[in-house]
Amino acid sequence: MRVVFVNSTHRWRGVKSWTLRVSRGLQRRGHEVHLVVARGNIFAAAARESGLEVTELRFGPDWNPLAMGALRRLFDQAPPSVVVTNVSKDNRIAGPVCRARRIPVLQRVGAGGDLRDRWRVRLEQRRYVDRILVPARVIAARLAEFPWVRAAERVTVIPNGLDLARFRPGIGTGALRAAARVPREAPLVVTTSQISPVKGIPVLLEAFAALAPTTPAPWLVLIGEGDPEGAMLESARRLGLAGRVRALGFHRDLDELLEDADVLAHPSMFDGEGLPNSVLEAMAKGKAILATRIGGTEEAVTDGVEGLLVPPGDARALAEALARLLADPALRERLGAAARRRAERDFDQETMVDRVEALLQGMDRARGAR
């Protein structure tokens, strides 16, 4: 097959990591892979480093004739077997081109709120999108609320997967503490999601401030995009945490940095949460996880087995669970070991790519049978 991924988004979120993992896996299996991404995006460089073909495109407004013309020329040079999109913008640029050439479109929907009941979305789903891929059952259930999605026949659930050999325990000791200047003896809590209120960072800071004083005092490191005005760090200063909170910004490769974490916190308040990569990465690294009981997180983490789950937005419950984990190394070790076993069973990258490949091949065969 020749598979083209079209992604117009600029920020590096979970779908970018998923696209790289799936693209590399398909390429290793002998398929041709081409990525069409927003111009000037750091994702383009990362894809090229992985040996993938990349076209940078100025997408512009919906149904932009210039962008559609560029895709027509690209598809005429090397016709795709299947096109994979992510957001509605992708469908409104690639969709008409694919429809004219009878190229099937698979949309990867990573969160419950990514499709909304609007006329443009209904139009693109009916005219352009053949199948929908989601990483969690909870997203499939939400999409089933829209009759125009026809979830029973069009939606496939394939959980995210990781390179478990790369994200394995014991790799990278000291890298994060050195980067964040955290004392070696200090307990370390890490979060690796977007640094924003919807991901629960203000609640995490409040919970961190409510912890009873201990010696040595725990530190918190925030890794991820967001907080351009420094609002989260300002909140940390107001709460008296300025000396023990670090923000490292976006880091693409977390396999080594996560090794130093004693606890991975994922306090998301996003009710459309899919299957967060930050949680899966911590599971693969064998880390104790503290997360909110929301979205697809509950499909990966069973409370008291692979981690601890608390209600979203509850700073007190978050603080109590955090204190429990920090005070009990044996509990952290037990939860982390169970998380690694679950990752090996359910979230292996090769299994994910196998299932995506089979889905794409089925769409390609169905196209040929039309």
Residue 292 sits at φ, ψ, to 5 deg, of -90, 150
25 touches 238 (CB < 8 A): no
Distances, alpha carbon 36 to alpha carbons 93, 226, 341, in Å: 11, 24, 36
90: nearest Cα among 15, 178, 166, 171: 15
Q: In which element (H, E) is residue 248 found? A: strand 245-249
**Any bridge partners for residue 188, and if so which?**
219
List, for residues 214-241, the tens digit of each pLDDT value. Answer: 889 999 999 988 876 688 888 888 999 9
Give residues with Cβ within 8 angstroms of 361, minimum separation 6: 1
Q: How far apart are CA 79 and CA 99, in angstroms?
A: 13
Altogether, the residues listed in the chain come to a count of 370
**Any bridge partners for residue 32, and if so which?**
2
List, for residues 326-349, the tens digit of each pLDDT value. Answer: 999 999 999 999 999 999 999 999
pLDDT averaged over the chain?
93
pLDDT (0 to 100) of residue 309: 98
Q: SS3 for 264?
A: strand
pLDDT (0 to 100) of residue 319: 97
Tokens of 121: 């979305």
pLDDT (0 to 100) of residue 242: 83
pLDDT (0 to 100) of residue 370: 62
